[in-house]
Homo-oligomer: A and B are copies of this chain.
Amino acid sequence: MGTDGQGREDWMGTRLDDFNDFRGRMNGRILGEDHPAIKRFFGVDTLTYHAGALDERTKEMLGLVSSMVLRCDDCVSYHILQCHRLGVSRAEMFDIFSVALTVGGSIVIPHLRRAVAVSDEVEENARRRSI
């Protein structure tokens, strides 16, 4: 929420790097505090996406759709990165977005816009690296 209309071009170019940087730095601060329940929660969070009866790819898709209906832009960005890494195609991504939109309603649309912007950036980055 609320990031719309604040220098999009700029946001498009550097958002993922900044996001990953801030995410890494603050996760370090949080885990550095050594709080037992918080630390173990982070462990559960990691374990949840390990392959089980469902493979890692399907679990990341489940994480993405959950993040989208709960309207958490950072979580959406994170799971788009994971989905892309695990080979989820753009067409599959839009099927996930479609479930989130129908279940969560038009209130999801601003997050959908930002999710598409993130997908575009992820794909653009991948194209650049492959040249």
Contacts and interface: CB of A to CB of B under 8 A. Distances in A.
A25 to B, nearest CB: 8
A75 to B, nearest CB: 6
A77 B110 CA distance: 11
Nearest to A114: B2
A94 to B, nearest CB: 5
A99 B11 contact: no
A87 interface: no
Interface in A64-82: 65-67, 69-75, 77
Contact of A18 (B4, B26, B107, B110): B4
Contacts of A20: 5
Contact of A70 (B58, B70, B98, B102): B70
19 contacts: A2-B114, A3-B3, A5-B21, A23-B113, A35-B97, A37-B48, A40-B44, A41-B102, A53-B94, A53-B95, A59-B95, A66-B66, A66-B103, A72-B110, A75-B107, A75-B110, A103-B105, A103-B107, A105-B105
A120 interface: yes
Given A66-B65, A98-B38, A120 B29 contact: yes
